[in-house]
Amino acid sequence: MRADRTNRIVVTLLALILLAAGITILLAGTNLFGPNHGGQPLLDNPAARFFSTHGGWLWPVAAVAAAILALLGLRWLAAVVSAEPGQRRINISADGDAGRTVLDSGALADAVATEVANCPGVDDVDTRLWGSPNAPRLALRVTADPDVDIAALHEQLETLTLPRIRYALGRPDLPVTLDLTYSRRRSARVS
């Protein structure tokens, strides 16, 4: 979550800097900073002379720097867009002094998916585990048959299935996010 906050701060600061630069350029064009300021070229003569004098090596260096910045930007964008990686292992031991019991998160996800899929009316289950090994979090996306009573299924999951999962892990406070949706397909009915 700290990375999300950092990304928002960096993007907000960059946006504010670019907004201030754009407003400054617009105001300069309206002669707000003086009567002759709006007619001056964007690049002043010393900078243009420097670029024309050292253009043989400066433009390739600028192109390489731009390519590196573009690659870093793409890597940052991929990190922001990609989902938070799930945990590989989860610590299920109650007391660290008595030993450490570690469970593979893939096995746990499969067991949870099987447990939830055995509930009547469930078409599909997607499980996701994240958080730290000592404080895991579970997200369930359950797709139900269109003919099932979703309130009854929710009640069964909350009162029977999820407490069994928490008990099996020895974590009565395991945070679970439950997303219940209907399947898009309709079952064939005979009238």
Quote the CA–CA distance of 48 and 188 in Å, as a whole number.
74
pLDDT at residue 190, as a whole number: 41
**Domain 89-182 -> CATH class:** alpha beta
pLDDT at residue 40, as a whole number: 67
Q: How confident is the model at residue 44 (pLDDT cuts 50, 70, 90)?
A: low
Q: How confident is the model at residue 19 (pLDDT cuts 50, 70, 90)?
A: very high
pLDDT at residue 38, as a whole number: 65
Average pLDDT over the chain, rounded to an integer: 78
Q: Name the pairing type of β-strands 102-104 and 89-91.
A: antiparallel
Contact status, residue 134 vs residue 173, Cβ threshold 8 Å:
no
Rounded to two decimals, the pTM is 0.48
Is the pLDDT at 188 greater than 50? The verdict is no
Q: How confident is the model at residue 65 (pLDDT cuts 50, 70, 90)?
A: very high
Q: Per residue in 152-186, pLDDT tens?
A: 888 888 888 888 888 877 788 888 888 888 877 65
Domain parsing of the chain, residue ranges: 2-81, 89-182
Q: Per residue in 92-135, pLDDT tens?
A: 665 555 566 777 777 778 888 888 888 888 888 888 877 777 77
Average pLDDT over residues 17-42: 79
Amino acid making up residue 114: T
pLDDT at residue 191, as a whole number: 37
- Residues near 182 by beta carbon (within 8 Å), at least 6 away in sequence: 143, 144, 145, 146, 150
Q: Which residue has the higher pLDDT, 70 or 129?
A: 70
Percent of all residues in the chain with a pLDDT value above 70, rounded to a whole number? 79
Query: 139 by DSSP, 3-state: which?
Result: strand
